[in-house]
Amino acid sequence: MGVNALHQAVARIALEVHPDRIEVVYSALASGKDKNILSVVKAALGSSFSLRLTEDFTAALKACPQVSAAELSAMFRAASATAALAAGDSSVELVWTGPVTGLVPVRHTAQVLTGLIDESRERLFMVSFVAFHVGGVVTSLRRAIERKVRVCVLLERSTEHGGNVTFDSIAMLRQNLPSAQLYEWDKTANAVSNASVHAKCAVADGLTAFVTSANLTDAAMERNMELGVLLRGGKVPDLLDRHFTALITTRQLRVL
């Protein structure tokens, strides 16, 4: 355990605590009034602060006796600024279809999905178990294709083609969106012939992701009780985008 462990411990605290509280920490350290660095930090964080994070920080600090109060103050200041930037660059929104209360702000599934499609600029990857009676979504996808967005859709195959859904969603999309790239899960390569594509999500440009319980159906978009989250920025959209690319590269997803 060394300085890197201390940096990590400080960063975890900065991610957990409001910037105003971190300002109290680094200001107290910078004042130099109390020579016991650990007691300064603990007092500034308060007695109700996470015991686990406090213990991790204590162990890391004891392993670095050469670190001064001024240096630790700078660490907290930098970590707090980084945490604030990270928070400002990403957001999570609740998405819901079903009964509403008026007490909790939520966005509607169809609104979020078509909005994400309309925001896409270079590439869009969508996944659903089934797709039918979603004229609004198809219209948004058609506009994306007209903007030269590379639209990719992964769906479960119909029973007629060895899948587990009666409706042939792929044929429907091929007819309505001939320029879209349609994919199937190559289950034979994974020895999972009795499994289904059950994920429901969409990711645009590796920047925005929508993860939802809703299939691409009119019932899911308008009537069912469905829950999802819209993720802007951060790591998840990029990871999801790269994951689908890797599945295609390794031929676990096969273009139709």
Residues 160-180 pLDDT 10s: 998 999 999 999 999 999 999
Alpha-carbon span 150 to 219, nearest angstrom = 27
Residue pLDDT, tens place only, 60-96: 999 998 999 899 999 999 988 888 777 666 788 999 9
Cross-strand partners of 155? 128
Q: Is 239 helix (H, G, I), strand (E, B) or coil?
A: helix
Residue spans of the domains in the chain: they are 3-88, 91-255
Question: What pLDDT does residue 35 have?
Answer: 79
Those residues with Cβ within 8 angstroms of residue 143's Cβ, 6 or more apart along the chain or in another chain: 117, 118
For strand 131-132 and strand 150-155, is the pairing parallel, antiparallel, or unpaired? unpaired
pTM value > 0.75 = no
The single residue listed with the structure tokens 């109700």 is 48
What pLDDT, on the 0 to 100 scale, is given for residue 191?
67
Q: Which residues of the chain fall below pLDDT 50?
A: none
Could you please state the CATH topology (level 3) that the domain comprising 91-255 is classified under: Endonuclease; Chain A (3.30.870)
**pLDDT score, position 48:** 74
Q: Which residues contact 10 (CB under 8 A, 6 or more apart)?
A: 57, 72, 75, 76, 79
CA distance 129 to 238: 22
Q: What integer pLDDT is reported at residue 190 of this predicted model? A: 67
